[in-house]
Structure formats: structure tokens, C-alpha cells
Amino acid sequence: MPRRIDTTHQSVSPVAIVFGTRPEIIKLGHIIRLLGESAWIIHTGQHFDIGLSRVFFDAFHIPEPATTLGVGGSTRGVQIGDALSALNRVFSKKRPSVVIVQGDTNSAAAGALAANASEIPLLHVESGLRSFDRRMPEEHNRVIADHLADLCCAPTETSRSNLRNEGIPDDRIIVTGNTIVEAVESLLPPRDRRESLMAEFGVRRGEFVLSTFHRPENVDDPATLRTIIDELARIPIPVVFPVHPRTATRIRADVELTRLAERLIMVEPIGYESFLGLAAEAAMMITDSGGVQEEASILKRPVLVVRRSTERPEVLGTFAERVEPGPAITDIAAKWFAELDDLHSRLAVLPSPYGDGTASAKTVATIPGLIGR
């Protein structure tokens, strides 16, 4: 458990933490804990079911948001615009000393724009990730946040290089590691709880796949999603498939997809701790999630990334391999399963490229230097 840092000397103004999705809560949870009473939690509502987010507040033992904006359920442009307008009104009434945003969400872009418009110092957690794929809305969001940030907290040297290549000066960049490391290390269930989870899902250690899909490039086109589900269904070991609400909607709308998906162990979205527990015991993971790529490097499990591109190249060739939808999914899964013991042994001794679990503390330690910029 991280040691709380006393930040009361910094300023009478709070530090605004702006987020709107569950992955952001995971990445910001320990930063919020370390800030203690200085943290002003603002939830944009981008993931508009606050009930689904509540489990993450409970997991990190942090208070629920002091301010909620309710911008969920809209298009990207409307979400960013509405969140920006709402944040401008909020900051005009109560001015924070610093605004913190994380990652590449619509909420991060809106928070960055609002901080800039109100001339409030901006800190961007997980800066410098680049897929170099302009078709991804997330790529534009992260570039906006990086170039507006007064301080970019880069998780790796690769991320720092990306920022430098775009002309961001060194005095606005710090390499902290990634806060996902401390999140995983603190929330990974013990072995007995993991045994119970496997029994609950009817699977055995090292004899199942854990899979998630939610990105528009994979789930919005019925043919692409059908290909992915068909490939998953061909894998000769059980596939546990927590179904994202976006993906569930697409599956229900297609009779053939529904039939194919019945061959998987489809479950409702599960809590983060339970997900980590299953991931730690899985043979492998197959996903389009960015966060799962990071988690795999901490849990020492191979992950097949089904996407056109990835903004996390640090894990490629070690913990991860990237493919596009098609037969390569089952081909690689079969290859990995055939050499699973050796593969797990090789990964077990590889360090994660995302740091040593001190990213949150390093990030919080930079805040006094931002105040007054």
C-alpha cells in the first residue's frame, strides 16, 4: 500500500483530477490516495454508468467524485465540447492549483483544454504514447493533452522520445514509469482467491484464454467482429470472455454472432481484481485493450493484440504479439499453447518495461513545482 504524501503545504487550492472512464480510475487511483484531502475528484461521466465505476472507487478506497458532469452517451465531439464547457464553469467558481488528466480519453482531452483555457497548470499522466495511426480518436486526444501539458509524465523512454520528436522540451517531460504497476501489484488477489475464481468460471490454471474486445475498429463492423468471435470459438481450450457493453450490443444485434459467441464463456464485465486474478492464471490473453498489454507484462502472461496498431510497442516481441483479425489469432494461440510451460518460464524472468511501482509517488512529487507556473 503506498504511503500517503502530505500535500497540504502546496496550496490552499485543491488538485483537480479529471477523468471519465474506468481505466482512468485504475491509473489514477494511487495518485488520488497519495493526494489525500488535496484531491478534487471530477468525473465527466464519459462511462455514464457510474455504478460500473463504483467498484473501482471501492477497490482503491477512494471517495466517490465530488463533482460529476454527466456527459456520457454522446458522440466524441459532443462529449468533449460538453465536458469542456462544464469544466470551464466549474473552474470559474472553484479554481484548482493544478489539473491532472490521464491517457487518451475524451475526458483527458476536455480536461486538458479546460485547464489551458483557464490558465491552470496541467499535468498529463501517461504521456507520449503514440500508435502513429490517425484513424484512432485516442491518438488525437493524447496529442492534444501532451502539447497542452505543463508537465508530461512519460511511462517509458520510448514515450519520452516520442514527445521530444514532436518538439516538447525536456523541462516539460519526466519519465515516471506507469501507474498500472502499483495498481496491479496492490489489487492482484492472493492464490486462494484466484483458485475460487477459476472454480467459479469452470476453468483450470493455464488451460483457458482470457479475452476482451471493445474497440470500434473491431466491434463496430459486423464482419470484423464475426471473424474475431469465430477465431476465438476455434481455440481448443475454454475462452473466458467478459463482454464489454458496446460489444454485447453488437452481438445481440446479429443472430450468427450470437450463435458463435455461445461457444465462449461469455460473462458480464467483471471487477478489476477478479479480472487480474483470472489473467494471472490464464494460459494467455487475446484482446484489443491497451491496458491489458501493460498488465500482461506485470503478470508475466503472453498477450495477443488484435489491432491495426498499438501505442505500446515496449511489449511487442516479448510479452505481446500484434495481429489483425483473421486466422493468425488461432494459429498463434495454438503455437503458444503447444509451448506454454517454456513460454511462461521465459516471460517470468523478464522485467516489465513500465517501471518499479513508484510512478504515482513520482508524479505527486512533481506537483509543487507546477503550482504558479
Q: Cell 456520457, residue?
A: 72
Quick check: is 214 catalytic? yes
* b/e 228-246 (16+ beta carbons within 10 angstroms → b): bbbbbbebebbbbbbbbee
> 159 near 290, Cβ under 8 Å?
no
Parallel, antiparallel, or unpaired for β 98-102 and 15-19?
parallel
Cβ neighbors of 132 (< 8 A, separation 6 or more) are 139, 309
Distance CA 291, CA 288 (A): 9
Give the distance between the most distant pair of CA atoms in the chain: 61
In the block, cell 511501482 appears at 357
Closest-CA residue to 24 (of 2, 3, 48, 47): 47
Which residues make beta-bridge pairs with 242? 267
Q: Scan for cell 471487477, then name that residue.
A: 271
The one-letter amino acid at 230? D
Of 140, 147, 214, 244, which one is the catalytic site residue?
214
SS3 letters across 92-152: HHCCCCEEEEECCCHHHHHHHHHHHHCCCCEEEECCCCCCCCCCCHHHHHHHHHHHHCCEE
Burial class (CB in 10 A: 0-12, 13-18, 19+), 319: buried
C-alpha cell at 33: 490516495
Active-site positions read 214
